[in-house]
Structure 1
């Protein structure tokens, strides 16, 4: 009896593995990026302008139902923006600072698909989040930065917190090109949840205190191919 139960369990596991479907793909994501800033009003922190970014990488969709998949992958993502503030060491002089950051990003999301809305076309809705680690940074186009308020030189990466997390929502469409080849296009919004500042509240804590917050915001166009 025990052997029979083990046999049935093995068959069930094999059946489950056979029914599971994994789709691999690559995507490219041009984006518009900007920072959300928050600080005491005396420092006049303001978002100045958005920047164009580019990201992309591996997409992995692991289906656990006909219309539902756990979606992950590994992305290299560029995020950037420009903000200004009043420096108390320079009698309130306004300083503008452009930052560009490269992240290695891991998505943890669920992707839900409709049935075909037209021949070989399905819509998808994706929700979840990403975790990311900065691997490079530039300030005003340079890897090192001399602060006009202190004249101290630091690396640009020292201004960025070592970890980031984002909420992610997206909508798009997927088109069946062949038996196992699909193309997709969608729009996604990535809302930064972690204060990326590791400079004003650390290196210049004496002048700015601990209340400066800078967070990422990204709107991306996702274009990809799955195999």
Structure 2
């Protein structure tokens, strides 16, 4: 009996070991794997590829990993946009220097009959600028404080300012330098990069101009200066309101600094001449050079 019982116990142990060996055998594992893949294909055929949400999660994970890898290889970070470098500060300061061409109008009547403009002249404007980005890093409120010198010139009949009429007198000329303090109230609209680090912008708005001084040029032959009590009387008003329209490009030197190169047009709306019978308005075309920091 003891031999029989021992033999039975050994048989049970062998059967258990054989069963475990069969369960762990590679063939059986491959069979179960094959059955699992068949079952998965059936589920995909009936319910779709993303029947359990795992495929979409896997794709999202792969896309996110690719984006992180691309940022690491290109040196980009979360502070950059898809097609332009975002400003590093909400407010950016700068300096502007703008040589410009002045073309004033002239329309006279009465004692100013025969007045017309006296060509064009080069002057300049300089001062600080300030850009405040208020929407999607593409739109900025742009202002500043500019010291601007303008030229205003006239050609006039030789009899102007004379007590006696003499038609044989040669024509006279008059040129004044007008010094203004200008406050721009404008908006800049930035486009995408047109080249690496280069963005196109459009600027539009207005200018409030306060006249600081007026100075007659070539006083010995300045007809307007001589005719009006030797220059004791002011010939121009206290200021002007102008429309501004400009465009240009901004080139980023680094994360904090940029160069601006553009062209702008200023159109005066007010009559700057004091004489009631003389109407003169400013027209300015300038090249804008700027450095932002």
Structure 2, unmatched stretches of 5+, are 1-87
Cα 1:57–1:88 change in 2 (3 A) is: closer
Q: CA deviation at 1:129?
A: 0.7
Cα 1:176–1:89 change in 2 (3 A) is: closer
Residue in structure 2 matching 1:164, options 236, 240, 243: 240
For the Cα contact (< 8 Å) 1:20–1:64, is it kept in 2? no
Residue in structure 1 matching 2:264, options 188, 208, 223: 188
Q: d(CA) in 1 for partners of 2:103 and 2:232?
A: 21
Q: CA deviation at 1:38?
A: 1.3
Q: Does 1:32 align with 2:110?
A: no
TM-score w.r.t. length of structure 2: 0.62
Report the structure, 1 or 2, having the larger strand content: 1
Q: Does 1:71 align with 2:149?
A: no
Could you tell me which residue of structure 2 aligns to residue 214 of structure 1? 280
Cα 1:223–1:161 change in 2 (3 A) is: same
How many corresponding residue pairs? 195
Could you tell me which residue of structure 2 aligns to residue 105 of structure 1? 182
Q: Tell me, what secondary structure is at the counterpart of 1:126?
A: strand
Task: Report 1 or 2 for greater relative contact order, CA contacts < 8 Å, sequence distance ≥ 6.
Answer: 1
Structure 1, unmatched stretches of 5+, are 1-18, 202-209
Q: Tell me, what secondary structure is at the counterpart of 2:282?
A: strand
Q: List aligned pairs for 1:81-96, cutoff 5 A.
A: 81-86=152-157, 87-90=159-162, 91=165, 93=169, 94-96=171-173
Q: CA deviation at 1:105?
A: 0.4
Post-superposition CA distance 1:95-154 (Å, at most 9, x none)? 210111110000000110001111100000000110011112211256xx784435x123
Cα 1:147–1:136 change in 2 (3 A) is: closer
Residue in structure 1 matching 2:128, options 54, 58, 70: 58
Q: Does 1:197 align with 2:280?
A: no
Q: d(CA) in 2 for partners of 1:155 and 1:25?
A: 39
Post-superposition CA distance 1:44-90 (Å, at most 9, x none)? 11112111101110110001111100100000001003211234543
Q: List aligned pairs for 1:2-13, cutoff 5 A.
A: none
Structure ID, larger Rg:
2
For the Cα contact (< 8 Å) 1:37–1:215, is it kept in 2? yes
